[in-house]
């Protein structure tokens, strides 16, 4: 590909991700929570591709790095936080703690991105991230809202996630983002030699038992838990 134009592909995907984030905000403000949450997940998936394509096409640049961070702040920081805020407001949840929890998530995401951008180049390519990424945190919040509002759950008349758990989840995600806990990627966890059959089997069973989105939420919860357990194991090994 012409060297002048190869940067357009990854940056174009990043801009599409930004559009998803902006429309997600407008959708959540208009009460279309399923649309808003789905667009956050679309941004999450697009974020996996723009970086990979930039490396594949040798189109990595400082501009692309800064653009990606700014878009992540909107699409996977502000958008999922506001989606959660609007969801709890529509559910008539006590809003006293929702306001500060929403602000906390956004601030933690901004801190996480700023810290990542200041890492030396040799560290930005490391397999484990320093703290939970804003993309994983944003996807978790979107999945939580979508799992709670999925047609499957509404048909059953169940609350998949009680509203009282949203605030603790937002606080925990914020702490994980600003922490220095080493977090592997989702793929690293579930492509481990013994985790692949367990992960695939669990995902199929959950999908069969619930809906696709509820299964994805539970798999994501498993990823967060396994990663924390892994960090604790390595920390104890290092201590001894």
Beta strand pairing call for 129-130 and 182-183? antiparallel
pTM of this prediction? Answer: 0.85
Residue 183's pLDDT band, with cuts at 50, 70 and 90, is: confident
Residue 238's pLDDT band, with cuts at 50, 70 and 90, is: very low
Q: In the chain, helix, strand, coil percent, each to 5?
A: 80, 0, 20
Q: What is the pLDDT of residues 71-122, one digit of tens each?
A: 999 999 999 999 999 999 998 888 999 999 999 999 999 999 999 888 765 4
Residue 205 lies in a domain: no
Residue 72 lies in a domain: yes
Q: Which domain holds residue 70?
A: 8-179
Number of domains into which the chain is organized? 1
Q: CA 97 → CA 176, 178, 202, distances in Å?
A: 19, 20, 34
Residue 206 lies in a domain: no
| pLDDT given at position 193 | 55
Pull the structure tokens for residue 35: 């649309």
Strand locations in 3-159 (E)? 129-130
Residue 32 lies in a domain: yes
Asked whether 112 and 141 are in contact (CB, 8 A), the reply is no
Asked if pLDDT for residue 137 goes beyond 60, the answer is yes
| pLDDT given at position 141 | 96
If you search the block for the tokens 């047609």, which residue do you land on?
A: 151
Residue 198 lies in a domain: no
The least confident of 16-20, 97-101, 129-133, 152-156 is 152-156
Residue 1 lies in a domain: no
Most confident of 150-154, 159-163, 191-195: 159-163
Residue 42 lies in a domain: yes
Could you give the CA distance from residue 142 to residue 40 in angstroms, rounded to a whole number?
Answer: 6
Residue 117 lies in a domain: yes
Asked if pLDDT for residue 240 goes beyond 50, the answer is no
Is 183 in a helix, a strand, or coil?
A: strand
Q: What is the CATH number of the domain that holds 112?
A: 1.20.120.1760
Most confident of 130-144, 197-211, 213-227: 130-144
């Amino acid at each position: 590909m012409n060297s002048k134009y190869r940067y357009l592909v990854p940056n174009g995907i990043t801009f599409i991700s930004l559009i998803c984030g902006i429309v997600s905000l407008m959708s959540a403000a208009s009460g279309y929570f399923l649309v808003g949450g789905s667009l956050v997940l679309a941004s999450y998936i697009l974020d996996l591709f723009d970086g990979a394509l930039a490396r594949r096409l040798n189109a990595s640049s400082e501009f692309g790095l800064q653009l990606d961070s700014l878009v992540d702040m909107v699409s996977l920081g502000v958008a999922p936080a506001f989606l959660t805020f609007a969801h709890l407001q529509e559910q008539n949840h006590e809003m006293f703690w929702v306001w500060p929890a929403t602000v906390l998530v956004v601030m933690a995401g901004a801190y996480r991105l700023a810290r990542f951008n200041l890492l030396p180049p040799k560290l930005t390519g490391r397999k484990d991230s320093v703290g939970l990424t804003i993309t994983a945190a944003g996807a978790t919040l979107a999945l939580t809202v979508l799992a709670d509002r999925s047609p499957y759950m509404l048909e059953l008349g169940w609350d998949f996630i009680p509203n009282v758990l949203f605030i603790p989840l937002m606080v925990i995600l914020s702490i994980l983002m600003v922490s220095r806990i080493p977090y592997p990627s989702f793929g690293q966890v579930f492509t481990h030699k013994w985790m692949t059959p367990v992960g695939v089997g669990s995902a199929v069973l959950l999908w069969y038992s619930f809906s696709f989105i509820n299964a994805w939420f539970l798999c994501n919860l498993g990823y967060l838990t396994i990663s924390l357990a892994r960090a604790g194991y390595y920390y104890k090994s290092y201590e001894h």
